[in-house]
Chains A and B, each alone.
Chain A
């Protein structure tokens, strides 16, 4: 005897312990003989530990923006999140910074604490509930990555004049006046602050250590190390570099807590790849000294100009990682703790034909982040395992990125007068 499982709920009393009863199921619409499991839930923005009273939810199809806004109220805090409408579905990790599934994600944007008595309307809050949930794998794609920002930069961003950070702002330098321009909101730039002089050839705002803006420049074979505040500069001195082609290695600089490093990343005919360093703080004068004479070659780069054997070195924690140029030129990654003895971590970092466009020289996060030639970014925490994004190409040939900096929770790149933004949540 066959009997149907699709019965109406019909308990004889409120205890619901007798007669037919269904829990967490429903009858199929086109065939009511069938019973299905109800849809499940995917955790999205999780405020466990912070939220105690959920008070409402709304999706605002903001006509002024591409994406609808998800509005949440809990504990008398209204938060507005952005939903990526280019994606068909949204699935998130409990950490709003990290998408876990292929179709999309939302990010915490900002909100108001309407329970705050300071003003009748409450006070503005931003990212009020940082969460530290386990990270999940990056989604398969492709999905949107970079977004080209509106407007033009005040100065042309080139290989020698990249974007950098200056305190709480993005910053860039004018090639002629060397005035510093800043952007504190990721949208608008100020009118520039006057460079007090003297002037140096190809001053690059190389990095910001939290107190000083620092720059390494070259004049002939001088390696000039500048330490600057936002409104003034301190000339720390100069010293000759002994290596050939130093001017071509201008941007292969990096810094740890003690030294500034300068890499000659071409292997000279009959020579080696070399690295110089100078004490970073507080030197009375720049004093370059050579460390080692044979940095690891990434693979098959040609000797002399035009062939990188080593794109650059990035320091993460107390370990130095050599970053190859990628593609056919080299895929080997090495690590070292003293810049003298190097250990091969992998002969193929798994990024296929992608080549390196830019590298975030500062350890902004707990991982190394590089920008590839196809708009994608790749990250690693150990130099061995690299995770590459799968973005829809946006920058393409619109401009050549000459920078990669993290500002706030998001990433920026720029080239010429154009710039682009990558939500931190989209970085693998």
Chain B
């Protein structure tokens, strides 16, 4: 069989142009292939390890892979299909297993289960490995998941693990590790079984991101290398259209009430697509207000003349999950990601949807009390940001995030993008939501309130 284990992720490395081996190697942990621009050749040399860990590295004409025992194998000089049994060195400062192999600067980096060792090209004579260990660079930090290793510029990122404490995200700049994760992020890391982890680094909009997906937790965490900030990235997946049994327009509230025969599973503020109404004013991409399990309302994009609507209206809701990009490749201005099914997408800073599906932006604030715990009477909330023909939705909580108001829309195209009559409480947290296919750049919330006497 061409691949001995189907469905495994592959790592790639370009072969040496100067050395005359135009092409690239692609390998999984079970198989390796070399493409020379014309044909694909499976690497079947008996000295190529049967099983390797993730990663392949190139240094001074030699390609390196590592097996789970921490043995690092080298190819012949610029001959990626030829391997010799003696071209081997072992990462054995500690007896831990090999997890992943990478290259950083002029070092081959061997990630172990709880240590990391560095090797450099010492020019050792053939047939042995040209590598020697950089003994003073050994780290007592291992790699918790091979899929978490990603590289940008001169940094390696990975989920690190030590004997002493739980998991953290590290950046290796040279041989010096730096912890990037916050306690919040580490809680998430420690709650994952790390059975399926994907990561990549991408530079876009002038920022370098380390994007880490934990499949079992269905979460993607994006670390902004330039600002040191972690954010969550999600993707929305459209669901099967659900029939709407009635669509009525209320001329007093200017809202459409939609009723479904079965529970719609839509939550307040969700983006949906209404379609199929004969009167097209009812149709479109809207955000809904939750009423009950079978009813929601929304502001139509155009005013219906006929009510109730006729036709066969349906609603498509979305389910939120981890960001769909699993693998990444970049070159020049190309920024591509591949999802779990193999589909390709271009990352584009001037695109405000994910392949036609909304991007669900949430910004939840800390609790605000103005420095005093007395009851406040909130009169107005202004959203300060770039004007655009779009709506953001705002809701608030006065009980430590336990319960929330319904979302209220704020038109960013207005001179004062604000809402009024916000009730009372001692502390308030706000959440902004935006799903329109438009840019969004927000700066602050401006709150007008009066402080009570107790």
Contacts and interface: CB of A to CB of B under 8 A. Distances in A.
Contacts of B9: 55-56
A43 B40 CA distance: 28
B262 to A, nearest CB: 27
Given A9-B230, A43-B356, A60 B337 contact: no
Contact of B370 (A1, A58, A74, A92): A1
Interface string B161-185: 0000000000000000000001011
A interface: dominant SS: loop
Given A33-B443, A72-B338, A39 B401 contact: no
Contacts of A53: 7, 340-342
A215 B358 CA distance: 56
Interface range, A side: 35 or more
B46 interface: no
Interface in A8-66: 8-14, 16-29, 32-48, 50-64
Given A24-B362, A33-B443, A42-B351, A52 B332 contact: no
A70 B3 contact: no
Contacts, number: 315
A368 interface: no
Contacts of B364: 19-22
Interface in A64-91: 64, 68, 70-76, 78, 83, 85, 88-91
Interface residues of B, number: 105
A182 B352 CA distance: 49
Given A40-B348, A68-B331, A75-B342, A23 B441 contact: no
A5 B401 contact: no
A57 B329 contact: yes
Contact of A9 (B7, B231, B400, B434): B231
B191 A29 contact: no
B2 A119 contact: yes
A101 to B, nearest CB: 10
Contact of B351 (A41, A68, A78): A41
B349 interface: yes
B441 A36 contact: yes
A199 interface: no
B441 A34 contact: yes
Contact of B24 (A50, A71, A92): A71
A306 interface: no
Given A10-B366, A23-B232, A58-B24, A72 B207 contact: no
Contacts of A88: 333
B10 A73 contact: yes
B449 interface: yes
A112 B449 CA distance: 66
B42 interface: yes
A57 B328 CA distance: 6
A135 to B, nearest CB: 15
B334 A59 contact: yes
22 contacts: A7-B366, A9-B230, A9-B232, A20-B366, A24-B232, A24-B362, A26-B229, A29-B207, A35-B443, A37-B352, A43-B344, A45-B344, A48-B341, A54-B338, A54-B343, A56-B9, A58-B329, A70-B344, A78-B33, A114-B40, A115-B6, A119-B2
Interface of B: 1-3, 6-12, 14, 17, 22-24, 26, 28, 31, 33, 35, 37, 39-42, 44, 182, 184-185, 187-188, 191, 204-207, 209, 222, 224, 226-227, 229-234, 324-334, 336-349, 351-356, 359-366, 368, 370, 384-385, 400-401, 432, 434, 439-449
Given A16-B232, A22-B364, A41-B337, 13 more contacts: A1-B370, A9-B230, A9-B232, A20-B365, A21-B232, A33-B443, A34-B385, A40-B352, A41-B325, A55-B8, A56-B11, A58-B26, A114-B33
Interface of A: 1-14, 16-29, 32-48, 50-64, 68, 70-76, 78, 83, 85, 88-92, 112-122
